[in-house]
Amino acid sequence: MQNIYDNEHFFAEYENMRGKEINANNLIEKPIFFSMLPSLSGKRVLDIGCGSGDFCRFAMSSGASFVMGVDCSKNMLSVAKSYDDGITYLNLSMENLSKLDDKFDVITSSLAFHYVEDFDKLIGDIANLLKDGGELIFSQEHPVATAFKSPKGGEIDKKIDIKGKRYYLLSDYNNIGKRIVKWNDSGVIKYHRNFSCIINTLIRHGFVITSVMESYADEEAIKKEPKYAYQNDRPYFLFISAKKL
C-alpha cells in the first residue's frame, strides 16, 4: 500500500494544485464523472479514495441516506472531517475493503484505482459490498497514459505541430504491472492495466458494463486552458459504470 499523500511536501504541493480553479480535475474529470452518476437520493453511498471528501459532500447534498468515505491518507481525512456534515469517514486503504461489513447501493471512486496493485481483489471486494443491482462508477488514468515505461519515469511527448495535433509515443501497453512516475518531486507508484484487463475483471466478478467514456474537453474548458484541446489526440482519463447482477 502506498500513502504518498501523508508526505507533507507532496500533500502541500497537491493541495496547491487542486486549489487552482483551472486544472484537469475540475475542467475535464469531474464534469464527465458526474454525468455518469445515477440518482443518489435515498441511496447508501461508499466513496473509495475519498480524499478531502468533495464527492462525499456532493452525495450527501444530493439526498443520499448514508455516505461513507474511505481513504488511506490521514492528511486527506483531516480536511474531510473538518466539515460537520454527518458523513462517516474511515482511515482505510483500498487493499483492505474486505474489513467493511456493510452493503451499499452505489460505490464510487475518482482517480484512485490505478494506485492499487491487486485489481482483481479490489473488484471482488467491491462486488461483495454492493447490493444486488448496485452500481459502481469509477474513473482512473487512461491506459494509454499509464502504459509507457520511461527510464525517467515519465511520458515522452513528440510535439509535432501538424494542423494543431500532438503525437505521442506509446510502448508497453500490454505489459501489465508497476510503473513509477515523478510527480511533485516524488516517485509515485502506479499500476498499468490494459483495457481488456479492466473490463474482463469487472465481468468476471458479475458486473454488467453500463457505460464507458474517455475524457475530452468541451469548448468552455479549452477556452480556459487551450492545451486541453489535445484530449482529442490522447485522453487523460477512463470512466466506467457497471451494475452488479
> Is the pLDDT at 153 greater than 50, yes or no?
no
Residue 83 Cα to chain centre, angstroms: 22
pTM value is 0.89
pLDDT at 82: 92
Q: Are 179 and 2 in contact (CB under 8 A)?
A: no
DSSP 3-state of 209: strand
The alpha-carbon radius of gyration of the chain (Å, integer) is 18
> Is the pLDDT at 158 greater than 70, yes or no?
no
Phi–psi pair at 12, nearest 5 degrees: -65, -40
Q: Between 181 and 130, name the one with better pLDDT.
A: 130
Q: Between 21 and 173, name the one with better pLDDT.
A: 173
Residue 58 Cα to chain centre, angstroms: 16
Q: pLDDT exceeding 90 applies to what percent of the chain? A: 69
> Is the pLDDT at 155 greater than 90, yes or no?
no
> Is the pLDDT at 105 greater than 90, yes or no?
yes
pLDDT at 180: 87
Q: Which residues pair with 237 in a beta bridge?
A: 141
pLDDT at 17: 63
Separation of alpha carbons 70 and 41, rounded Å? 20
pLDDT at 154: 44
Query: Which of 107-111, 181-185, 193-197 bottoms out in mean pLDDT, i.e. has the lowest?
Result: 181-185
- CA distance to 96, 114, 125, 141, 183, per residue, from 102 (Å): 14, 24, 11, 28, 35
Domains and their CATH numbers in the chain: 4-244 (3.40.50.150)
